[in-house]
């Protein structure tokens, strides 16, 4: 591994990593959204012998389910034990960033800011969290980059074969976590190996491909013994869920247009970029410029400019504007630079990409992969943008040779680090209507009878506890269905009815929802918890079905018609995070009145749009 040509010490980088990990602990501890329970129940049911795709209606890739199942087997099912996997992912990601940063020939202090900026830019995506499968791919991507950097141009063929096998292991894991992202990592790794290896390329690629396939199939077999079920439900059906093949191709190809539109959509976005540029220019006179120190008046004026724009940036940090603006800029630059690198293969007379330049294709491929699954949204651009920020000094060291450019990049990373920290403290996690409040605000330690101590928002506890108490009072002989996420099943410790772990809008097939409609019409469970959020439903119709109704619209109509006719009884209907949370007893209203006292909050309500 190459070493820092200017500063062999890594002290400040280590400090940066430790502080980021400490923040990760607080970050993980404070995330307990009411949309949780998905990974817990998928893993718990797989451990009892249920088929992931046939019995649990799963449509995603199985890696994180398998990892969660192992975590439950080794450490138990307590809430605190469930956070161990999240901590391991934080360690994996930070250690990967730290190792890759070792190839950057910068001063230790500058790389420390870069590490912090890369880490916080990754979490700028509002729904990124370390106890979820999205961050897993980023861990695998950064470690794939590290292994590619270890390739020594074929001078040690046997060692390169080992590296190829390890790269195949990571690509196979990525494919079994998110198929589109895994394909992006596999393709980028293949191209990088072709460019960076000078001898025995074919042997290395064969080893790489074999390791990828073996890893993918091995993980699939751990979750469901039928490869047919995996291919049918998690590959062939996915296009229909996302609006069809045409919609996926269009979203992918038009991703640069969406990113550019989002960049200029709000006036504050380009202004933030200008503000950072002013901070960079203001900071230059603080160091040596052409071997001469700046005058006191120039340095004072520069400091004043830096402070003014810095304070203004802090005011915008709570809503994530600096991170979002700079992240979009990094994403757009990644696409431009990747296109320039590809010209080396496509145009005669243009210098072919060599060495580490080809690594820039990794974040570019991940950007298009994110566009493939998120419709017109650009939320998934921030982790690849962070990877681009980390790789650019390695891929183009001559462009970063000037000291002021290095300091400019460090200032950019510092803004991302500080802004991202403030933003995540103010809003640790949000996903459509799910939204966490400030870290350590309005939370309590609650001792759950089944899952032990858990750190939870008081408002959330006030919603879910009465639900579980009501169900326990009446009994749940015929089961509990929670739509669209199984958090009530989790908190009440009741397995999801008929294996319907989750019915989220863009991860559930039409066939599954239509089957659920029929089962609810003929023999429903005794209890249903329905999080009714029509705005979220509509947003998915627009993003993935050209504004036309998706099957969940019929499911909503079915539930509401049964309530209006009196066939089912609405027991409770509180507001939380801008949504109606309906506790439904699937017995006629008059019968329920004889069994249980009617609560006082069963009338129709209008929930405010979030907190």
pLDDT in tens, 132-149: 999 999 999 999 999 999
Q: What is the token pair recorded at 494?
A: 């009741």
> Rounded to 5 degrees, what angle do the CA atoms 361, 366, 372 make?
130
Q: Which of 90-94, 279-283, 324-328, 606-610 is most confident?
A: 90-94
Confidence of residue 591 (pLDDT cuts 50, 70, 90): low
* Res. 15: pLDDT tops 50: yes
Mean pLDDT of 16-44: 92
Confidence of residue 413 (pLDDT cuts 50, 70, 90): very high
Confidence of residue 287 (pLDDT cuts 50, 70, 90): low
Confidence of residue 555 (pLDDT cuts 50, 70, 90): very high
Point out the least confidently predicted range of 169-173, 359-363, 606-610. 606-610
Residues in Cβ contact with 198 at an 8 Å cutoff, skipping those fewer than 6 apart:
153, 154
pLDDT of residue 312: 80
For residues 244 and 97, give the distance between their C-alpha atoms in angstroms, rounded to a whole number.
36
Point out the least confidently predicted range of 147-156, 515-524, 561-570, 576-585. 147-156
3-state secondary structure 476-520: CCCCEEEECCCHHHHHHCCCEHHHCCCCCCCCCCHHHHHHHHHHH
For residues 190 and 360, give the distance between their C-alpha atoms in angstroms, rounded to a whole number.
13
Q: Which of 30-34, 415-419, 463-467, 587-591 is most confident?
A: 463-467
Q: Is 546 exposed, middle or buried (0-12, 13-18, 19+ CB in 10 A)?
A: exposed
CA distances from 99 to 10, 68, 95, 102, 103 (A): 11, 26, 6, 5, 8
Q: Which helix (H) or strand (E) holds 214?
A: helix 201-223
Nearest to 585 by CA among 601, 603, 604, 562: 562
Nearest to 387 by CA among 9, 566, 125: 125
pLDDT in tens, 334-345: 999 999 888 877
For residues 215 and 193, give the distance between their C-alpha atoms in angstroms, rounded to a whole number.
19
Buried/exposed code over 282-299 (b: 16+ C-beta within 10 A; e: otherwise): bbbbeeeeeeeebeeeee
Nearest to 100 by CA among 13, 20, 189: 13
Nearest to 121 by CA among 347, 323, 333, 380: 323
For residues 120 and 390, give the distance between their C-alpha atoms in angstroms, rounded to a whole number.
12
pLDDT of residue 41: 96
What phi, psi does 198 have (nearest 5°)?
-100, -25
Nearest to 122 by CA among 89, 99, 83, 170: 89
* Res. 415: pLDDT tops 80: yes
pLDDT of residue 348: 58
* Res. 185: pLDDT tops 50: yes
* Res. 4: pLDDT tops 70: no
Percent of the chain with pLDDT over 90: 51
Mean pLDDT of 443-454: 95
pLDDT of residue 235: 85
Sign of the alpha-carbon torsion through 298, 300, 302, 305: negative
Strands 434-435 and 430-431: antiparallel
Q: Which of 28-42, 274-288, 403-417, 516-530 is most confident?
A: 516-530
* Res. 221: pLDDT tops 80: yes
Residues in Cβ contact with 581 at an 8 Å cutoff, skipping those fewer than 6 apart:
463, 467, 529, 530, 531, 532, 572, 573, 574, 575
pLDDT of residue 155: 59
Nearest to 529 by CA among 474, 578, 492, 475: 492
For residues 63 and 69, give the distance between their C-alpha atoms in angstroms, rounded to a whole number.
10
Confidence of residue 540 (pLDDT cuts 50, 70, 90): confident
Confidence of residue 606 (pLDDT cuts 50, 70, 90): low
Nearest to 352 by CA among 361, 342, 365, 362: 342
Point out the least confidently predicted range of 98-107, 250-259, 493-502, 599-608. 599-608
Percent of the chain with pLDDT over 70: 89
Considering the entire predicted model, what is its pTM? 0.90
Mean pLDDT of the chain: 86
Mean pLDDT of 537-542: 87
Confidence of residue 111 (pLDDT cuts 50, 70, 90): very high
pLDDT of residue 351: 54
pLDDT of residue 436: 86
pLDDT in tens, 119-130: 999 988 888 899
Mean pLDDT of 447-464: 94
With residues binned 3-state (H G I as helix, E B as strand, rest as coil), the percentages for the chain, rounded to 5, are 65, 5, 30
* Res. 43: pLDDT tops 90: yes
């Amino acid at each position: 591994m190459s070493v820092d040509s200017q500063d062999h010490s890594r002290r400040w980088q280590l400090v940066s990593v430790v502080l980021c990990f400490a923040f990760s602990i607080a970050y993980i501890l404070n995330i307990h959204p009411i949309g949780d329970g998905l990974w817990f129940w998928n893993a718990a049911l797989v451990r009892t012998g249920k088929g992931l795709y046939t019995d649990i209606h799963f449509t995603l890739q199985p890696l994180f389910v398998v990892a969660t199942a192992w975590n439950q087997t080794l450490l138990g099912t307590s809430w605190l034990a469930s956070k161990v996997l999240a901590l391991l992912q934080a360690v994996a990601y930070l250690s990967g960033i730290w190792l890759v940063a070792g190839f950057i020939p910068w001063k230790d202090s500058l790389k420390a800011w870069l590490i912090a900026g890369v880490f916080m830019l990754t979490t700028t995506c509002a729904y990124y969290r370390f106890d979820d499968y999205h961050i897993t791919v980023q861990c695998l991507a950064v470690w794939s980059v590290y292994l590619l950097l270890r390739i020594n141009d074929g001078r040690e063929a046997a060692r390169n074969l080992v590296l190829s096998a390890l790269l195949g292991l990571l690509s196979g894991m990525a494919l079994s976590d998110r198929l589109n992202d895994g394909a992006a990592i596999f393709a980028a790794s293949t191209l990088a190996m072709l460019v960076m290896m000078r001898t025995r390329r074919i042997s290395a690629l064969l080893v790489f491909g074999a390791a990828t396939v073996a890893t993918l199939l091995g993980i699939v077999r751990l979750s469901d013994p039928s490869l047919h079920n995996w291919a049918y439900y998690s590959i062939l059906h996915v296009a229909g869920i996302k609006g069809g093949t045409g919609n996926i191709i269009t979203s992918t190809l038009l991703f640069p247009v969406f990113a550019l539109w989002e960049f200029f959509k709000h006036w504050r976005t380009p202004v933030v970029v200008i503000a950072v540029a002013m901070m960079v220019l203001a900071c230059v006179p603080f160091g040596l410029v052409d071997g001469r120190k700046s005058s006191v008046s120039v340095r004072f004026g520069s400091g004043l400019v830096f402070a003014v724009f810095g304070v203004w940036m802090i005011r915008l940090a709570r809503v994530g504007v600096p991170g979002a603006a700079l992240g979009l800029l990094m994403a757009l630059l990644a696409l431009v630079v990747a296109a320039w690198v590809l010209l080396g293969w496509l145009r005669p007379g243009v210098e072919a990409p060599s060495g580490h330049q080809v690594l820039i294709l990794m974040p570019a491929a991940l950007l298009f992969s994110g566009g493939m699954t998120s419709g017109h949204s650009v939320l998934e651009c921030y982790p690849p943008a962070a990877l681009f920020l980390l790789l650019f000094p390695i891929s183009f060291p001559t462009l970063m040779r000037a000291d002021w450019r290095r300091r400019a990049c460090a200032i950019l990373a510092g803004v991302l680090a500080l802004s991202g920290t403030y933003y995540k403290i103010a809003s640790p996690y949000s996903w459509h209507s799910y939204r966490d409040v400030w870290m350590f605000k309005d939370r309590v330690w609650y001792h759950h009878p089944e899952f032990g101590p858990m750190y939870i928002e008081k408002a959330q506890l006030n919603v879910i506890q009465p639900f579980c108490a009501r169900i326990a009072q009446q009994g749940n002989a015929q089961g509990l269905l929670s739509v669209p996420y199984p958090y009530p099943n989790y908190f009440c410790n009741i397995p999801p009815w008929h294996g319907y772990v989750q019915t989220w809008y863009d991860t559930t097939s039409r066939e599954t929802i239509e089957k659920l409609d029929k089962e609810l019409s003929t023999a429903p469970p005794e209890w249903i918890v329905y999080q009714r959020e029509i705005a979220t439903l509509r947003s998915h119709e627009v993003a993935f079905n050209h504004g036309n109704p998706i099957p969940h619209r019929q499911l909503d109509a079915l539930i509401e018609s049964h309530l209006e006719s009196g066939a089912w009884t609405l027991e409770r209907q509180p507001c939380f995070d801008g949504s109606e949370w309906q506790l439904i007893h699937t017995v006629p209203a008059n019968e329920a009145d004889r069994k249980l006292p009617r609560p006082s909050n069963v009338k129709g309500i209008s929930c405010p749009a979030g907190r």
